[in-house]
Amino acid sequence: MLTITEGKIAVQLARDTIKAYFVTGKTMNGSETELPNVFEEKRGVFVTLTENGMLRGCIGHPYPESTLKYAITDSAISAAFRDPRFPPLHIDELDKVEIEVTVLTPPERIKAAPKDLPSKIEIGKHGLIVKKGYRQGLLLPQVAPENDMDEVDFLGHTCLKAGLEPDAWLTGADVYSFEGQIFSEATPNGEVIEKHFEKKK
């Protein structure tokens, strides 16, 4: 787990990386500033940009295959400039977007009969990955509570993200869960908070 101080550094690193890319056209590699040791650990990470409450970009590294600092800098550039759902971020938008960094635990396959999968998912705690063949979809833990989804909705939307039928989780798709530590700017370039979601009753 990261401390709130390390979380603030993670978000600032993402913002600094995007800002530097506008100036230099190059990606920071994290060595420009001295970072806590945790940034050398291999972690999965997603960087999310929102503008006026609307998604503006979200890309990441689902698996802990690279260092935290590299995963953040690479994901920040990808979320800002390479998310195929959105046009590249314009420099005038930089002071209008809120940046969120989600640090992931390694995904683990949920070992349960398909009908029992919903009971193994905790809304607000778990993110999901659904895989079938070459298709894969991922939704972060914050997506379900922020969109008022229950467990079945969450499974269905993750299947749709993978380009599958919404009930693919019942018909042989593999489902993985992971947890995420979420650090987010409360306002654009403002205070960084750690997000927590109440367990759904």
CATH code of 27's domain:
3.30.700.20
In a domain, 191, yes or no: no
So what's the pLDDT on residue 29?
63
143-191 confidence digits (pLDDT tens): 999 999 999 999 999 999 999 999 999 999 999 999 999 999 999 999 9
In a domain, 183, yes or no: no
Same domain, yes or no, for 14 and 100? yes
104-147 confidence digits (pLDDT tens): 999 999 999 999 999 999 999 999 999 999 999 999 999 999 99
Point out the least confidently predicted range of 7-11, 27-31, 96-100: 27-31
Amino acid (one-letter) located at 94: L
Residues 90, 95, 97, 103, CA torsion sign: positive
Residue 8 DSSP SS3: helix
CA dist., res. 28 & res. 21, Å (int): 8
In a domain, 198, yes or no: no
CA dist., res. 59 & res. 180, Å (int): 14
Residue given tokens 């995963």 in the structure block: 71
CA dist., res. 1 & res. 172, Å (int): 33
Cβ atoms within 10 A of the Cβ of 169, count?
26
Residue given tokens 């940046």 in the structure block: 99
Q: Can you give the pTM of this predicted structure? A: 0.93
CA dist., res. 148 & res. 160, Å (int): 17
In a domain, 189, yes or no: no
So what's the pLDDT on residue 4?
96
CA dist., res. 33 & res. 8, Å (int): 14
CA dist., res. 142 & res. 132, Å (int): 23
Same domain, yes or no, for 84 and 130? no
Same domain, yes or no, for 8 and 89? yes
